[in-house]
Structure formats: C-alpha cells, structure tokens
Amino acid sequence: MKNRRSQARALGTLPENYLRTLAYRLRQPPRGFKIVKSGPVKEVIKLHNEADWTELPVPYHKDKDDAPYVTAMNIIRDPETGFYNSCHAGTHAVGPRRGLISFVTPHSHVIMRKYRDMGMDAMPIAFVFGLPPAYEIMANFSGLHMDAWGEMEMVGTIMDRDIEMVRCETLELNVPAEAEIVVEARVNLKDRFKVGEVTSPSMYNLPHYENLPEVEVSAITMRGDRPIYRNHQTCPDTDHQPLPRLCHEAVLYNRLSELGLDVKDVRFPTWGAALSCIIQFSYPREGMVNDALMLAMGAPWLNTKLVVALSPDTNLDDPVDVYHAIATRCYPAVPNTRGSPYDPAARPLEGQYPWRVVGKMGIDATIKSRHDPADFERAWPRNWGQVKLSDYL
C-alpha cells in the first residue's frame, strides 16, 4: 500500500482518481456486510493447544526486539453498539498462545473501558492476515464514526462491493471469510506487562517502553493451500508509514475542498517520518493558502507537525522536487534580507536590478542537547543491508 498505484488498485480506480474516489466513498453511508456460514479461511481449524501462532512466519522487526512482532489488522466489537472496530495494533508474540498488544487508537481504549465497566475481565479480538488492501485502508480510519458505524461496515462501501463475514470458532465475533489466516484471542483487561523499545513509524525507538495488556490465543483458522502471511514491516519507509494516514488524506481532501480549493493531492510521504503532510492544490486568490495550512495543522491527529503547501506542478513522489519547491518558492517569515537574483520568490528591488530581498527561515533539525542522544538512534530491521537475494537462489 506504499504508493498511489497500489492504493488505486485497492479501490478499483486509476491512480489520478484514487484520492477523490476514497474521499467520496467515505462520505457515503455504510454498506454493511453479509454473514455466511463458512469461507476459505475455515479450511483449516486449530483449536486451543493446537493453536500456536509462533508457527506462523512472524518476523523480528528490528535489532532491539525481544520477540517476533505481529502487525496484522485486528477486529474488536463495541459491546454496546455491536459495531466492529479495527486497527493495526502491533503485538509481541511472546509465546505459542500469548502476546502483548499495543493499542494506540482512542476507540480501542473506549471499547476496552466499556468491557471493564460491564464487569468483564477479557475482550474478544481477532487478528486477520491476508485481505484485499481496502480492508486495511478502512481499518485505519480516524474520526467521528463509532456512534454511527464501525470500520468493517464501511469496507464494502469503499470497495464498492459486498463483503462476507463468518463466525469465529471460539469468540462472539465475525471475521472476513476471504481472509488467509485468522487468529482468535482474548485480551486480558486487568493486567499490564512492561515491554521496551517500541517500534514507531518515525523509525526511532520511542517511547522507550509501554505497559501492555496480554492476549491469549484460543484458535487459528486459515486457508488450506499455502495461506499468505501478510506482514507490515514497520521500518524503514514501508506500509507502516502511509497506511494509517490514507484516510487522513481523504478527510483532509474533503475539508480543503470545502474551502474552495482545487485539490490535486494530499500526502503524508513515507520519507516524512509519519509526521509531515503535503497539500497540493490550485487557489483563486491570496489568503487561501494560509487558511489551508492552518486547517491541516489543526487536524485532530498528531502527525501534522510539518505541513507544506505545493502547486500542482511539483512531483510529490520525488523528495528532491519537493525540497526544490520549498527552497525556491517559499517566502519565509524573517523579512527583507538579502535575496538571490536567481530566486523567483524573492521581491525585486525597484531601481536595483537584478537584486532582490527575501524572507529567511532557520529550521533546527539537530539532535537536541536536552535529550538522551540515544533517543535519536534510528531503528533498522535485523541484518539490514546484509541480506542478498543471491544467497537464496
């Protein structure tokens, strides 16, 4: 799901139509899903002690990992509304039937609290591997919706077709019938366990530790003929960076369009450490760009730390082109300093051709002395740069 070509395939459209298509479909009512008696994911069923998820090819993601790291989409159910919520909560597979799961989405915590308020000690959860990518896009939706629908009800809406769900073997949950692998489990709502060196989308080992709830595996079902294990490698810039932000892009597309902008694209680039956003549009008059920047920076998510507005002629897939636009088209806030005669954004000095004046800016991108330098050490996959395809041929 890293690029627009594959994202467009997930929605059955062309790359140039992808963003407006997703933005439009997210404004439609939920399509829901169909319950079926069985499906391909039920061809192999392993229950209880036979359900060992360490037999799956779960990788270690970085050198500092103490256990294999599961990055599958998971499904939980709101016990009050019945709506299905989903996300990609990274989970340390610390034993054959045990994991430690890192829920970071607010809706997950709301649902867990509802189970606790009802006097429940455990919450059912299903880990789902190997699905059409539109499931994963919708699983990462962030915004007001849990009072009206859950993410699974909108999967068919953004795919523009019906989806089928089948009953779990050991849980009161339904899961996608066309999945490759499903791991059924329960989340322990009482206890927490400390796990260090978190795998973050910014590629740093931050935060340094988390106190995570435990999951206990109760069943594994899968296709019978070589099921596909889907892994979201969390570093460097892979699906882990763009996937949680694809619906953010569509929501911002809708909001920017409401300003009257001709929006071409919205992008959280993989090379932006999951903390920066590019908005690309044409506009009819001055004042609209600053409004667009403030709208994006004021978004409810935590990843619009740096927002850049660009014109449609800049190639968003080329960091060099983006940086060139910043360097040559930006008129920064420190005004009236000596400018280059080669800078088209600088203001020509009347009667002093070819001299110009320009604003300047300084960006402090250094390792901060107030922090532990280890906070800025990058996280790399195990054996990064040492694996050669020829060794396996």
Tell me the C-alpha distance between 201 and 196, whole Å: 16
Contact 41, 176 (CB under 8 A): yes
Q: What's the rounded mean pLDDT across residues 10-21? A: 95
Alpha-helical regions (H) of 128-233: 133-139, 151-159
| Proportion of the chain above pLDDT 70, given as a percent | 98
Question: Quick one: tokens of 152?
Answer: 């699974």
- The 10s digit of each residue's pLDDT in 282-309 is 988 888 888 999 899 888 888 888 899 9
- pLDDT over 90 at 31, yes or no: yes
Tell me the C-alpha distance between 330 and 307, whole Å: 13
Q: Band the pLDDT of 201: cuts 50, 70, 90.
A: confident
Tell me the C-alpha distance between 27 and 239, whole Å: 25
Angle subtended at Cα 176 by Cα 173 and Cα 181, rounded to the nearest 5 degrees = 95
- The 10s digit of each residue's pLDDT in 263-278 is 999 999 988 887 889 9
Tell me the C-alpha distance between 249 and 319, whole Å: 18
Does this model's pTM top 0.85? My answer is: yes
In three-state secondary structure terms, 16 is helix
Tell me the C-alpha distance between 67 and 30, whole Å: 38
Q: Domains, the chain, ranges and CATH?
A: 31-222 (2.30.110.10), 243-376 (3.40.1670.10)
> What pLDDT does residue 363 have?
65
- The 10s digit of each residue's pLDDT in 348-361 is 999 998 888 988 76
Q: What's the rounded mean pLDDT across residues 372-385? A: 82
